[in-house]
Every structure is written in structure tokens, then in C-alpha cells.
């Protein structure tokens, strides 16, 4: 099993940057592909970014390509989401998630979830 704790959310003006962190417990972190998802009020949870077990393969939803970067440090049991050029439509609760096997864009296939961190982008 793995437990996930996100941090780094906050209030930022449009055009600004934030770096989200997700700390994972357990000694088997490197066995999991990791994903970031977000959920805005009144909307379904949506895929943001994912990376494979080594961090070499990365995937992004179209709306964040070129602005967000997912990375991980297996030695530190950490995964990050660097968010630049933030827009008001990026406002949401951001969740990190873990799954065995290859990365995926579907939230339903992820086995473990953090509690989420709020990101608010003001216009």
C-alpha cells in the first residue's frame, strides 16, 4: 500500500506559478505510476498529468501542455506538479494518485489517492 499527502496549493494571480508536491509513504513507491487529477466545483474529476515508474514517460491533458510539468523523485518518494502561466480555469482541488502498471488518464484505475490541495487562480 501507499499513502499520499499533497501540499503546495494556494491562491495565486493569473499568470503566476505554483509547485504541488505529493509525498508517498512506503518502500515500494518506485513500483507505482503516478497521476495528478483535479476537480473544480460542480465538475467531475479530470486528468491533468501522469508519469511512469521511472518518470521518463509523461502525459498531459491538452489544456496544460506547455504550462505544467510532472516529475518524480523515487529516492525521496515524491512526485511534483510544476504549474506555470496559471489561468483562472485551473482553479480546482488537485489530487495525486498512484496505480500499479503503466500510467493512465482514467481516474477509476488509480488505487490510491491523497486528500487533495486547493489551487485558486484569481483573474
Q: What is the pLDDT of residue 72?
A: 96
The C-alpha cell that represents 90 in the structure block:
485551473
Q: In the beta sheet, which residues pair with residue 120?
A: 11
Per-residue model confidence (pLDDT) at position 86: 98
Instruction: Report the alpha-carbon distance of residue 15 to residue 67 in Å, rounded.
Output: 10
Q: How many residues does the chain have?
A: 123
Q: Which parts of 25-116 are beta strand (E)?
A: 32-39, 46-51, 58-60, 68-73, 78-83, 92-100, 112-113
Using 50 as the pLDDT threshold, list the residues of the chain that sit under it.
Answer: none
pLDDT at 117 (0 to 100): 98
Amino acid at each position: 500500500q501507499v499513502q499520499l499527502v499533497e501540499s503546495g496549493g494556494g491562491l495565486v494571480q493569473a499568470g503566476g506559478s505554483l509547485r504541488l508536491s505529493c509525498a508517498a509513504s512506503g518502500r515500494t513507491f518506485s513500483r507505482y505510476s503516478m497521476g495528478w487529477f483535479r476537480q473544480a466545483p460542480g465538475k467531475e474529476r479530470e486528468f491533468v498529468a501522469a508519469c511512469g515508474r521511472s518518470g521518463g514517460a509523461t502525459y498531459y491533458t491538452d489544456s496544460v501542455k506547455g504550462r505544467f510539468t510532472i516529475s518524480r523523485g523515487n529516492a525521496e518518494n515524491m512526485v511534483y506538479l510544476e504549474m506555470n502561466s496559471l489561468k483562472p480555469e485551473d482553479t480546482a482541488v488537485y489530487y495525486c494518485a498512484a496505480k500499479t502498471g503503466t500510467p493512465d488518464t482514467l481516474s477509476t484505475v488509480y488505487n490510491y489517492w491523497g486528500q487533495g490541495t486547493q489551487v485558486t487562480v484569481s483573474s
